[in-house]
Amino acid sequence: MSTYKQVIYTTTPNPAINPSLTNGTFSIKTVPKPTNVPADKLLVRTHYLSLDPAMRQWLTAKRSYIAPVELGAVMRGQSIAQIITVGADLSSKFTPGDWVVAYSGWQEYALLGAKEVEKVVLPPGGRPTDAMSVLGMTGLTAYFGMTEVGFPKEGETVVVSGAAGATGMVAGQIAKIKGAKRVVGLAGSKDKCEFLVKELGFDAAINYKDADWKKQLKEATPEYIDVFFDNTGGEILDACLARAARDSRFVICGAISQYNAAKPQGPTSFMTVISQRVTMKGFIVFDYAKKYGTALQELASWLSQGKLKRKEHIVPGGIEGAPQALVDLYKGVNTGKMMVEVAPVSEAIKAKL
């Protein structure tokens, strides 16, 4: 009998994720591959799993924007997948071989309904994994956070934290496209900072692990900060708040520095919000679902024109690597969108022949 592997959420993290597959947060389960595909379902094969900082939040039963993953369930997550079999009722919409962004969870194969997949549509020069990064959730997050919440104007100073990550790198480039005078990125290594300035066109980048990073931030923002796109929270948010310009907009996109903390820390320089009339606004990308189409068109045209660059960090070696890769995401091993390669694309092409 043909089988496949699933990653099961097994033990609540306390507070950090334990990547061990024998006594950790997740375990591997082997299950039979479906032989019959129901009329209203698609059988998909997962190729690339998306790793997202929010996954840590999904493992904790708290009031949030989404229900937690249940213990014993397949770990939730998006993937780039290829349709293997199409149920009889769906044959007018899908064809075996179609590439989709799938709400598959962490498993090698999945039986999904039509609403759990989105066909991958790529612009010239696009590749399937773009649909899960620059033309997917992280690209859209950067787009709406920057254009709708931060809305930088010509001549303004924009600072982005987590700038070399999937969301941050797109956010900073959009600020440049929108005419910001000065775009400054904060990231966790010298190489990442060089990448931001030399390859993505940021005006400056600061390694927040340098001892004097706050001094560097001050020097890089001589006219203070008009828009802060925050992916990290914690000390970085605090330092940027202390540099807030009058009427600045603080886009609260994420707070990765606090996700694994037993007791998350808020900013101490919050009184700047009053003195400088700062607007701090949190948002969730799903709030803008009705506008995804227009946003994707614009992102795709920037990508095709070379105005928007992207990078991926793909962890090879199959689905067993996902728990460790998720832990590594919080350590910042990635530049760009972090994914796990469950099955290389070339195998899929071979399977089609």
Ligand X SMILES: NC(=O)c1ccc[n+]([C@@H]2O[C@H](COP(=O)([O-])OP(=O)(O)OC[C@H]3O[C@@H](n4cnc5c(N)ncnc54)[C@H](OP(=O)(O)O)[C@@H]3O)[C@@H](O)[C@H]2O)c1
N-terminal to C-terminal alpha carbon distance within the chain = 23
16 contributes a contact to ligand X by CB under 6 A: no
Which tokens belong to 229? 């796109």
Q: Pick one of 103, 151, 283, 292: the residue that binds ligand X (CB under 6 A).
A: 283
Q: How far is the CB of 101 from ligand X (least distance, A)?
A: 14
From CA 267, how far away is CA 318, in angstroms rounded?
Answer: 40
Q: Residue type at 248?
A: S
Rounded to whole angstroms, the Cα distance separating 190 from 66 reads 35
Residue closer to ligand X, measured from CB, 58 or 109:
58
Kindly write out the interface string for residues 27-66 of this chain, putting x where it contacts ligand X by CB under 6 A and - elsewhere: -------------------------xxx------------
In angstroms, give the least distance from the CB of 275 to ligand X: 26
Write the burial class of residue 198 (CB in 10 Å: 0-12 exposed, 13-18 middle, 19+ buried): exposed
Q: How far is the CB of 19 from ligand X (least distance, A)?
A: 16
Using the structure block, give the residue that is written with the tokens 């560097």: 216
Among 120, 146, 280, 338, which residue sits at the site for ligand X (rule: CB under 6 A)?
338
Residues in the chain: 353
Tell me the C-alpha to C-alpha distance, in Å, between residue 39 and each of 50, 187, 346: 28, 48, 29
Strand ranges in 38-86 using DSSP code E only, listed in sequence order: 42-50, 79-86
Residue window 201-240: x/- pattern of binding to ligand X, with contact defined by CB under 6 A: ------------------------------xx---x----
Q: Please tell me the count of residues contacting ligand X according to CB under 6 A.
A: 32
Figure out which of the listed residues 284, 314, 345, 348 binds ligand X, where binding follows CB under 6 A.
284
Binding mask 169-188 for ligand X (x = CB under 6 A): ------------------xx
Rule CB under 6 A: is residue 139 a binding residue for ligand X? no
- Name the pairing type of β-strands 279-282 and 244-252: parallel
Residue 57 φ/ψ region, left for φ over 0, alpha for ψ in the -120 to 50 degree band, beta for the rest:
alpha
- Using CB under 6 A, which of the segments 120-128, 163-171, 269-277, 344-352 binds ligand X? 163-171
Distance CA 224, CA 218 (A): 8
Q: Give the interface with ligand X as residue ranges (CB under 6 A).
A: 52-54, 137-138, 141, 162, 164-168, 187-189, 192, 231-232, 236, 253-257, 283-285, 329-330, 332, 334, 338
